[in-house]
Chains A and B, each alone.
Chain A
Amino acid sequence: MGGDVESYKTPVGRVQGLGSAKSGFRHWWGQRVTAVALVPLVLWLGFGLAVYGSADYEAARAWVAGPVTAVLWIVALAAALYHAALGLQVVIEDYVDGDGMKVVAILAAQAFCILLAVGGIIAVLRIVLGG
């Protein structure tokens, strides 16, 4: 993801490895790439959950464990929580005062998103492997 970032930079920007706000462009671009990917993924997940979310245990498990659905689940979790981490960072930068507090809050938001993504992906893998 974001493999094209370099092609958008000027030679100077590339040499310095710094955007206008240090990592601003990469952040902005990551939020857009994940947003585009999330449009179909979230539509699929929303309607899938509507149909299977209140199904009985076996039916719900069989749905998540399908080879295509399991991969889509993992991609959706990773994209959504990466997008959320980037988004929460912007919100924190806007509202939290003080550099120290800002860093702490951003790290906490990132930890929250990473834990959820890892927890969700482990759950999908356990369902696939039947553990």
Chain B
Amino acid sequence: MQTKNNRPLSPHLTIYRPQITSMLSISHRASGVLLALAAVLLVWWLSALAVGPEYFATVQGVLGSGLGRIVLFFVSLAVFYHLCNGIRHLVWDTVHGFELEAVHRGGWIVVAAAVVLTVAVWSAAYLWRA
């Protein structure tokens, strides 16, 4: 069939090369699912605080270990990415920002803002810890 190659394709992972649009879109989903899992750590920490000093110290030891900090670093990045990109979703819901240029610019702003917030929160953790 002659026309076959000219048919429009819906986004398709093995057909379209990765672009900032598709990469950030799937990252919103991935970060959302990761955050749902990370909520386990949050409630674990909170429960340890409710249980008592010894158990709290154990949980602090795990979360504050080298591996614990690496996990928490990626969780914080996912939090801020999902938050910033979520705001972008909310703007889109008002039917604004759909011009291709705006989509590309917004995407980079989201990535930059997420990195800045992640650096800020870790600076706070190391500089102002109570």
State A127–B122 Cα separation when bound (angstroms).
26
Summarize B's interface: helix, strand, loop or mixed: helix
State A73–B29 Cα separation when bound (angstroms).
24
Chain A residues, CB < 8 A from B87: 39
User: Known contacts being A123-B46, A123-B50, is A91 close to B29, with CB within 8 Å?
Assistant: yes
Q: Which of chain A's residues has its CB closest to B54's CB?
A: A57
- Report B29-57 CB contacts with A as 1/0, cut-off 8 Å: 10011011001101101110110010011
Contact partner of A87 (CB less than 8 A), chosen from B32, B50, B57, B80, is: B32
Q: Is A55 an interface residue (CB 8 A)?
A: yes
Chain A residues, CB < 8 A from B56: 57, 60
Q: Which of chain A's residues has its CB closest to B52's CB?
A: A57
State A50–B57 Cα separation when bound (angstroms).
17
Summarize A's interface: helix, strand, loop or mixed: helix
Contact segment of A6-14, A16-24, A40-48: A40-48
Chain A residues, CB < 8 A from B79: 42, 46
Chain A residues, CB < 8 A from B40: 116
User: Does the CB pair B125–A50 fall under 8 Å?
Assistant: yes
Q: Is A59 an interface residue (CB 8 A)?
A: yes
Q: Is A38 an interface residue (CB 8 A)?
A: yes
State A91–B29 Cα separation when bound (angstroms).
8
Q: How far is the CB of A48 from chain B (nearest CB, A)?
A: 9
Known contacts A53-B63, A60-B130, A120-B47, then 14 further A-B pairs from the complex at CB < 8 Å, ordered by chain A residue: A42-B79, A46-B117, A47-B120, A50-B129, A51-B124, A54-B64, A57-B56, A57-B57, A63-B130, A84-B36, A120-B39, A123-B43, A123-B46, A131-B50
Q: List 13 A-B contacts (CB under 8 A).
A: A35-B90, A39-B87, A47-B124, A50-B128, A51-B130, A54-B64, A57-B57, A61-B49, A73-B46, A87-B33, A88-B36, A120-B39, A122-B50
Which residues of A approach B to under 8 Å, CB–CB? 32, 35-36, 38-39, 42-43, 46-47, 50-55, 57, 59-61, 63-64, 73, 77, 80-81, 84, 87-88, 91, 109, 112-113, 116, 119-120, 122-124, 126-127, 131
Which residues of B approach A to under 8 Å, CB–CB? 29, 32-33, 35-36, 39-40, 42-43, 45-47, 49-50, 53, 56-57, 60, 63-64, 76, 79-80, 83, 86-87, 89-90, 93, 117, 120-122, 124-125, 128-130
